């Protein structure tokens, strides 16, 4: 994706995601919610954003 966001927190805000329901992996590592604001987003980063959905 293309984004202007410089940190994970800015990314969450840019896509209007509710922070309390999502989990982010950055380059295969879990990024804890508490560090999103301080975690820079670099070009080429592999970002995985997941949330709960219905399932059995």
Residues at the contact surface with other proteins, assessed by CB under 8 A: 1, 15-18, 20-23, 25, 30, 32-33, 48-56
5 contacts 11 by C-beta, under 8 angstroms: yes
> Between 23 and 37, whose beta carbon lies closer to other proteins?
23
> Between 7 and 33, whose beta carbon lies closer to other proteins?
33
- To the nearest whole angstrom, how small is the minimum distance from the Cβ of residue 32 to other proteins? 7
- To the nearest whole angstrom, how small is the minimum distance from the Cβ of residue 20 to other proteins? 7
Burial bucket for residue 4 (CB in 10 Å: 0-12, 13-18, 19+) = exposed
- Per DSSP bridges, beta strands 22-26 and 29-31 are antiparallel
């Amino acid at each position: 994706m293309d984004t202007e966001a410089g940190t994970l927190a800015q990314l969450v805000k840019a896509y209007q995601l509710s922070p309390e329901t999502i989990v982010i992996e950055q380059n295969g590592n879990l990024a804890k919610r508490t560090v999103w604001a301080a975690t820079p987003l670099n070009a080429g980063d592999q970002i995985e954003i997941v949330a709960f959905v219905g399932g059995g």
